[in-house]
Each structure stands twice: as C-alpha cells, then as structure tokens.
Structure 1
C-alpha cells in the first residue's frame, strides 16, 4: 500500500496552514462553503479548513492515509478520483474550492480527472493546483523526482494548454519552494490571466523551455551527479567511515538506485513515518528504521535523501552534527555539511 503521510513534514504542514488561511480569506470561505481536496492523504490540509469552520471533504485512494484522516475527523472518501466517481458518489457536490496538491502529475488519465473536477466545481468556484515545476526540476537537476508515480512534468505552458481543453482558464500562478520548486495555479471556468501568468508564459517561451535542448543537458548532468556521489560514498567507505541515510521517500529510492554498487555502503535509512519502519528500500535492500536510531548508532556520515527539506532536517539533526556527524546533501549540488556550516 501507499505509505506516504504528508503530516510527517513540519515545513509542509506550515506551508499548508498558510495556504488554507490565505485561500479562506481570499475566497471568502465560511461555514456555508465547501472545500474538496483530491488526493487528501491524511487530512494534512483539510484539518486547517476545518479549524477555520469551513466544511471539508477529502478523496484519496490509499487506505492507510484515509484511515489517518478519518481518525482526525476529516470526512474522506476512500477511492481514486475519476469522472465516474464525480458523477456517482459526488453527484450532489458543488464545491466552492477544489484543491489538488501534487496529484495531477500522478494521474494516468488527466483528461478524465479534469472533467471530474469540472463536474464537482461550482460555477464560480476556484480550482487550486500545485505541481512540481519542470523548470525548477531541470535547473536543480532533481532527477530523483523522475519516477514511475510521476507520469508527467508540467511547465505553466503545458498545464494551461491542458486545462484550456476542458474549459478552464488559468487565472493566477505562484512559484513555491516546496518539493524542490513548484507551481501553485488558480483556475476557474472563467476569468482572465493575471500579469504573473502572462509573464511566466512569455519567459518559458523566450527561455527555450519549449524546445528539447535543456532536457538533453539535464540528462547528462544527472549522470555526472550520480557518478560524483557514488565516488564520494566509495571514498568514505574506503576510509572506514560509517554511512546511513535520512529519509525513505520515493526520491531517495531513485537516488540510491542510481548509485550502483556504492549504495551498499548505506547501512540503514531513518524516517519519521512509522508506517515505513521495519520495511526495506526497494532495489537496494536498505532497512528503514526510526530517526532515533541516528543518535543510537551514530553513523559518521548521513546522506540526506529528501534534500528539498534541507533546513528542516538539519535543524532536527543539530544534535547529531554537534556530536561530530556530517550530512551529505546530494542536490542541487553536492555538499558536505558539519556543525560549523549551520
């Protein structure tokens, strides 16, 4: 089953609280409104709308996060969101706000998904979409976010074209630092694009991002970084240094599997999500344990797999660094960090 729990990241929760408060204020949401989140996970976002007195409904296909959401008191439908679901179990829904954070890139049939959103969104409603931004992915060489669960990678140009096919207009866009760089788009059935939308679309075209060349350079850089990191781990191991990893997210699985034989030097991966403890990272057979094992086993080097949470994790592991530990940050450039670098 799908074991990712959004609430395991403090910085992501802070991001979501601010997002909920901003949307409720901007859209005038109150006790007579309805927010529907598609891909609602463990209720990480909807809990903040509930706390503001705004009725909320989640939809998510993964049993473990759905159970966690219901335990929080978040009304959640445990099923994949499709047009068929919208026309059956959600046929009476008229949402003032639909949210889909980091969901659209996972959907096998985005056309069906978007038609489903159109069916449940009120006439004057707003759809807020967050997706990883392909320009940030390429610029940071975040090749570890390219994996089987992500079926597409969006520029604003490609997203706007897709939405337009189904009668949605992109009204506004923001760039966010989350997940290594993301877009937050506000769309609706009507409205005009903001100046930020027009500027970003123009920048993408003038920057050559609609051509293939930047993506070829990205592929070569990814190979170079994987070779550099594997060489570093081999060198550390040859000098007798013990190595562990922090984080057992999907991107970490990709990164470790790109390292070839060098991944064998990673003794364990520590993760805050208890649902992952006692399991193994696929392909490299690295055991997953709780984060308390870092202090207990005291590895000399810690490879930070969720490098997008760099500041949060470095603060969590300040004690480890103060005891002489070293954290390796693999992307967007390879860095070795000690306590003096905090």
Structure 2
C-alpha cells in the first residue's frame, strides 16, 4: 500500500479499530435482517510526508450517497461559528457584490446562507441530498464532487473564486491531490482558500480516536498539508487555531506566486508540531494503547451500570458514537437507544450496533439514569438543552478523551 499523497510505501500502523460499517450508513428497520457490509478501519502514517490515512476505503459515492444524513444546521453552536466566520472573512477580504465565493461541501447551506443574506454572490458544491435543503433557502448549488474536473468546469464558465472555503471536507476526500489541484484551478489570482479541519496533534494529545471513521480518509497535520499545498502550486500564508471539533486549524492558502507574505504564525505552528513529535514515529506507535484504555473504561462503566440496575441511553447518533460503540462491541443490552435532533436520522438505526435512533423528547419519556453524549465536542450545549427537561435525576457522561461525569 502506498501513501495517497507522495506514493511512499506505507509500513507503520497508527491505529487499528478492526472492521466496521461506514459510520453514516444508517439502517432502516427493513435492513436490520440483511447482511451488513464492514470495512477495515485501520490507519497508517507515512514516514515520508507524515500524512495519516486509512488503509482501505470504499468509493466516495458509497460513503456520501444521495441519502447522506448529516445536516450541519442541526447544531446551533456550529451555525453560530459559521455566521461569525462569514462576518470576519467578509471584512478581511473586503468581499462585496462584485466578489464570488465557492464553498466546497456546502451541505445544507448552513454557511453560504450568510453570504446570500449579505448579497455576496456564492455557489455551493455538494453532491448529496443535503443540497435540497440549501436550495430551499436560496443557496445555489452545483451537485458534484469537487476535484480537477469540477474546477475546470467552473473555470471555463468564468466562475473562479475570490474565496474558496471548506469546513471539515479536506479529511473526507479520497484523492487529496486531485482535490487540492482543483482548489488551485478554481481560485482567482489574488484569491484566498480557507479550509478548516481537525488537527492531528489534538487527536493524538487528547485521545480523540473516535473521530476515526471511513468517511475520514486523512488525518491532517499542518506539516502534511503544507507539503500537499506546495505540490499543487499553493502556499499557506496564515492560520488560526480553533476550538471546534476538539481543536481544528483554519488555514489561509493562496497561489504560490501571491505577493502576500507567509506569517510567522505558520512557521511557529510547524515548529510546535515538530517539537510535539509529529515527525517521529514514536508518537504514532504509542496511540493504540491510549485508544484501548478509553474503550476498556467505557465498557467497564456500562457493565457496572447494568449490574447496578441503572438505565443508560445516548445522545447524538454521530459518527463518533458509531466508532466508539462498534470498536467496543457495545449493543443495546448496555445502551438502550440513542436520541438525535436530526429528523433525517430519526426512525433509523445506528450501523453495526443497531441502536434505535429516537427524537430527543423520548429522553424525557424514559428518564434514563445516565445519558452518554457521543458528540463530546458539543457536550456543554447538549447538557444545557437536556438538563432543563430531565432534571437532576439523570446524569451525563462522555467517554472521550477519558470517562468523565459532566457537572
């Protein structure tokens, strides 16, 4: 197997979570009796370019199908994050009615609706059914996967962008070189690329192994991304560290020839990664044991609650929960059901573990003793919403980065 960026031979396993179904392959009731396809969920690190990547992956159209069920607008905090970003980048780049913005993986229009409201021309590139929701609120969408072919189509139509943005898409693309070349082709001279992605250094530091799933083909450090951009004729000239998704980077990219100078914060971040050990195999070789401890502690907690006669439910039918549950081998004998605010998921079942996905109001009906919050990155938001309904009789807990009862 070769690195999907530099084509160096891959030899070093970073994490092995066995076999699992795709994390967003939610099941209908009729599908529960049918065979379920699983794929190896194993990560390698390239000791040449330091890109961490999945061993095997299915075709992108299998993972992000027409009925893809993840809607970005489900989270209020994420909507607020998007609105703040649009306000900030509009001011920084002086975007106006003569500008053009492209968002790659625009989902349900959660972000671009802010540009539409400001009268700034924009276009979403989104192949899944979430585009239906975007179009209903006035966001124009090109229903295609993004890469060189789509970028050429946009460029030939005179639709090169002053800003190309993409939140949590860079890790999802199976051909990261084709995607990055597409960014260059679709970007105007003098234009800016903003990509947000979870930072590999935080994944390792805070033991966020549940962010590993098939839909994430790459796990990104700044070190790796700088090299990928350079090969495509692009340069990272600025960045921000963000608290989203357990710690993310927002990079600012441009054409290699752009006159804007690279800010010292970029070099500082590269030095920080180097000091942490992201160019040393030792930091990767020790991660499996950290993941195993989280899994073991979680299972022990659930078994203890079952023996004590306590009921346990979960909140958030998220990919994080699927990774954790399927790796731990947890079924509905230990966790009764999971609630989720996304209507598209309700009435279905989690892949692998087959937990029923119910509306959040079901928590108030059952009043479980414990609620496990799978999307730990929005745990505070969930607790604030649900405590008012459930009262003090229910306790909340997260399993990652370590088992913790929430106040």
- The answer on 1:327 being equivalent to 2:396 is yes
Match of 2:82 in 1: 16
| SS across alignment from 2:333 | helix
1:67 aligned residue (119, 122, 132): 132
- The answer on 1:210 being equivalent to 2:279 is yes
Match of 2:192 in 1: 126
Pairing 1:135-284 to 2, within 5 Å after superposition: 135-189=201-255, 190=258, 191-261=260-330, 264-284=333-353
| SS across alignment from 1:266 | coil
Q: Structure 1: how far apart are the matches of 2:132 and 2:330? A: 38
Which has the higher relative contact order, 1 or 2, with Cα contacts under 8 A spaced 6 or more apart?
2
- The answer on 1:308 being equivalent to 2:373 is no
Q: 1:176-206 CA deviation, whole Å, 9 max, x = no partner?
A: 1111111000000123221110101111112
Q: 1:320 Cα deviation (Å)?
A: 4.3
| SS across alignment from 2:344 | helix
The farther-off stretch of 289-298 and 201-210 is 201-210
Q: Give the TM-score of the pair, scaled to structure 1.
A: 0.96
**Structure 2: which 5+ residue stretches go unaligned?**
1-66
Q: 1:264 Cα deviation (Å)?
A: 3.0
* Cα pair 1:230 1:262 within 8 Å, conserved: no
Q: CA RMSD in A?
A: 1.2
Q: Structure 2: how far apart are the matches of 1:100 and 1:281? A: 27
Q: Give the TM-score of the pair, scaled to structure 2.
A: 0.81
2:97 aligned residue (31, 37, 41): 31
* Cα pair 1:270 1:290 within 8 Å, conserved: yes
| SS across alignment from 2:241 | strand
User: Which runs of at least 4 in structure 1 moved beyond 6 Å after TM superposition?
Assistant: none
The farther-off stretch of 263-272 and 235-244 is 263-272
**Structure 1: which 5+ residue stretches go unaligned?**
none
* Cα pair 1:303 1:329 within 8 Å, conserved: yes
* Cα pair 2:331 2:353 within 8 Å, conserved: no
Q: 1:66-104 CA deviation, whole Å, 9 max, x = no partner?
A: 000001110001111121122225522121000011111
| SS across alignment from 1:281 | coil
Q: 1:117-161 CA deviation, whole Å, 9 max, x = no partner?
A: 111111000000111100011111011011101111111111011
